[in-house]
């Protein structure tokens, strides 16, 4: 997945379909990604991208795969956070990086709608991010899209076992996921809501959220449980479960369809905010 992501980003730059500016914001490495033929603007939704990789992989250009896809396929701008990874930087490093970068962006672009997008581990991080923003009293983002979120690193979801033989991406990976979970929590309670947001108090998080999974996704349980926790607390959360799809939508054309569904939600919410 890393090699594929890096190659995809390099090819997009070679095609000159996207503009990528790598810089540092609030002490955090980030990349601004936008369609190359789009007039630079401070208007319109800005995707705040939190990448996948089990909290341990996919830094650098590999982190930009989804952001580049939003730019190429849907003409949407993104800022991608190259957050610190385990094992060198366990919880709360990634969460701190996300909050630090977000705070600077909100201060510099107070009127621009920001939509959090998180994939897999980035989806769990995105959910924890919403809880942390609430805790700190920062302005909330306008919306969030959480795709196959790893929202319970204590690994209590039933589908980790029941869908293990049906998920071609993460099937058979429980022996790998457990060390990744332990490395991320690193002594913290794995059911701390900021580690595993499925256990969080979602009261007061008045942010539209779209959760996406598939019927063969081993993280379907994490996604459904997170949606239920949000819904019970009054969060305006929607859930899409795609027939026959596995973790992280790693194949075409389903990946492109997921990007389109996410973009439709983002534009709908942004239009409401206007």
- Per residue in 62-94, pLDDT (tens digit) is 889 899 999 999 999 999 999 999 999 999 999
In the structure encoding, which two tokens stand for residue 248, read together?
């992280």
In the structure encoding, which two tokens stand for residue 25, read together?
């914001």
Give the domain 2-273 fold. Answer: Rossmann fold (3.40.50)
Helix (H, G, I), strand (E, B) or coil at 268: helix
- The reported pLDDT for the residue numbered 174 is 84
The continuous run of DSSP H or E covering 266 comes out as helix 254-273
Residues facing residue 30 across a β-bridge: 23, 81
- The reported pLDDT for the residue numbered 2 is 45
Integer Cα distance of 10 and 82 in angstroms: 17
Widest distance between CA atoms in the chain: 48
Integer Cα distance of 100 and 214 in angstroms: 32
Nearest of 71, 89, 255 to residue 184 by alpha carbon:
89
- Do 103 and 94 meet the contact criterion of CB atoms below 8 Å apart? no
Q: What is the pLDDT of residues 192-236, one digit of tens each?
A: 999 999 999 999 999 999 999 999 999 999 999 999 999 999 999
Which residues in the chain land under pLDDT 50?
1-2, 5
pTM attached to this predicted model: 0.94
Nearest of 261, 165, 158, 168 to residue 219 by alpha carbon:
158
**In degrees rounded to 5, what are phi and psi of residue 2?**
-60, -50
Buried b (16+ CB within 10 A) or exposed e, 98-115: bbbbbbbbbeeeeebbbb
Q: Which strands make up the sheet holding 209-214, listed edge to edge?
A: 18-25, 28-35, 77-81, 46-50, 114-119, 143-147, 209-214, 237-242
Buried b (16+ CB within 10 A) or exposed e, 20-39: beeeebeebbbbbbbbeeee
């Amino acid at each position: 997945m890393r090699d594929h992501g890096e190659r995809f980003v390099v090819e997009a730059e070679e095609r000159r379909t996207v503009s990528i500016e790598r810089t540092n914001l609030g002490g955090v490495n980030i990349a601004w990604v936008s369609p190359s033929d789009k007039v630079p603007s401070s208007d319109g939704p800005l995707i705040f991208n939190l990448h996948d990789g089990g909290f341990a992989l996919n830094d650098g250009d590999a982190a930009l795969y989804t952001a580049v896809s939003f730019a190429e396929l849907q003409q949407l701008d993104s800022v991608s956070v190259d957050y610190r990874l385990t094992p060198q930087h366990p919880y709360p490093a990634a969460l701190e990086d996300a909050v630090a970068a977000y705070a600077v962006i909100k201060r510099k672009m107070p009127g621009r709608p920001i939509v959090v997008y998180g994939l897999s581990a980035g989806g769990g991080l995105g959910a924890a991010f919403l809880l942390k923003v609430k805790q700190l009293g920062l302005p909330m983002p306008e919306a969030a899209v959480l795709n196959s979120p790893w929202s319970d690193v204590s690994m209590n979801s039933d589908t980790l076992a029941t869908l293990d033989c049906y998920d071609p991406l993460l099937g058979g990976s429980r022996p790998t996921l457990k060390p990744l979970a332990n490395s991320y929590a690193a002594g913290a309670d794995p059911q701390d809501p900021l580690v595993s947001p499925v256990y969080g108090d979602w009261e007061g998080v008045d942010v539209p959220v779209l959760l996406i999974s598939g019927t063969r996704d081993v993280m379907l349980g994490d996604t459904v449980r997170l949606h239920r926790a949000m819904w019970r607390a009054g969060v305006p959360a929607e859930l899409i479960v795609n027939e026959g799809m596995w973790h992280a939508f790693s194949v075409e054309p389903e990946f492109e369809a997921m990007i389109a569904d996410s973009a439709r939600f983002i534009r709908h919410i942004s239009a409401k905010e206007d």
